[in-house]
Structure formats: C-alpha cells, structure tokens
Amino acid sequence: MSRIQGWQTGALVLAGLVVAGCSNTATGTPTAADHEPNPPTTTSGPTNPSPPSNAGPSLAPQVTNPKNLRGQDACQLLTPQQQAELTFSGSGTRGVSDFKEEECTWSNSNLAIYMALDTKRHGLEEVYLRRSTYSDFTPSTVAGYPAVRTRRNDKIKSCRVVLGIADDQALHIEFSRHSDGRDPGYEDPCGFAEKVGKMVLDNLPAAR
C-alpha cells in the first residue's frame, strides 16, 4: 500500500468514527439541561418564610396545658373590664401582622399595647429557631406558660413578649410607655407585657 493510499484509508476510518459518535449523541431522551442550561431563579414566595424545622428535639419548652388561639378576634382578646384596667377607654385598632394574621393595638397618652396572633407557623419554636436574629432573647414564663422576652428597650420602656399558647400557637405582646405615668409597672416593660399575657390566658378556651 502506498503512503497516499494509507493516508486515505486512515481518513475514512476517522470519518466513520465521527459519524458514529454523532448518531449516538442524537439518540436518547433530551434533558431539561439540553434546552435550558441555566433555568431562571424566582423571587416569589413568603416575605417572612419560616426557617426549616430542626431535626432534633424541640428547642422551645412544651406547653403542658394548651389553649386555643386560632379563630380568635385579636381585638377581643381582652375583656372591656380588662381594657379599662389598662386605662384604655376605647376598642383597639385592627390590622394584619407581618405573618398575615390578625393584630390589634390599644393606645392612649400613657401607653400602648400591641398583640398579634401567630397560629400558622411553629408556635414558640419559631422564636427559638430565630433566636440568633434577636438582640435580646430571655426565656420566661407567664402563669406557667413558656414565653420569651425580646426587643426590650429600657430607655423608652418597651418590650415584646412571645407567649406560647400551644406547641404550634403563640401570641406576640408588646408594651410601650408613652409617658412616665403613675403605674410602677411601667418601669418593668417586659413584666407589664406578661401581665397582659396573663389576662389573655384567662380568657382563652382550652384546646380541644
């Protein structure tokens, strides 16, 4: 075989391999990556998504005598007598919280009380899972129910308390002082918020 004939034979073999390789690639089922190698990412979804639940035991204390907060009217969590005791002469102002549930605010020249239902997430466990995001995180109890004190500000006498109503339900209560007032309880904003929590617990039905 001459040198030219050998070169032609090698070229034909190489061409055959290339054709065979192309035919193998063309067969089979195409994947999504064949058509969209970089699928777009979406930004839709809840603005305040719940963190993933931890795989181990619950971080928050269990509620041994759960009550039911679901379906309650936020502005009816306090009786008219209790509202008067807290120096409020009118009904609260309704709203919707950041986690899309009912909230209510009572306010006068002395103080303000804010309450929000939290019954669609993880109860008090939600706060424990997010504890690193709080500048203040102090476990507490209210009438035997687990709670956490957060957002305490001694300068303006304000505090938020998250109260465990059931293992999967919580109530957010925030007290803010508007003036010095005469009530010595104003000097302990977290204690005052917990006092309001005790009032609410007295009004709630037991869990079924």
| Averaged pLDDT for residues 116-135 | 95
pLDDT tens for each residue of 78-95: 999 999 999 999 889 999
Q: Is residue 51 part of a domain?
A: no
**Nearest to 85, CA basis, from 177, 183, 162, 163:** 183
> What pLDDT, on the 0 to 100 scale, is given for residue 90?
86
pTM score of the predicted model: 0.73
**56 is a domain residue:** no
Considering its fold, how many domains does the chain have in total? 1
pLDDT at residue 159 tops 80: yes
**Residue 55 located in a structural domain:** no
- Asked, for residue 65, whether it belongs to a domain, the answer is no
Q: Is residue 80 part of a domain?
A: yes
Confidence (pLDDT) at 56: 59
Q: Does 28 fall in a domain?
A: no
Give me the residue label for tokens 């957002």.
151
User: What range does the domain containing 126 cover?
Assistant: 74-203
Question: Residue 17 corresponds to which amino acid?
Answer: L
Q: How far is CA 196 from the centre of its chain?
A: 22
Give the pLDDT mean for 125-150.
Answer: 95
> In the predicted model, what is the mean pLDDT of residues 62-70?
97
pLDDT tier at 2, thresholds 50, 70, 90: very low
CATH of the domain at 124: 3.40.1000
- Alpha-carbon distance of 90 to 129, in angstroms, equals 37
Residue 99 lies in a domain: yes
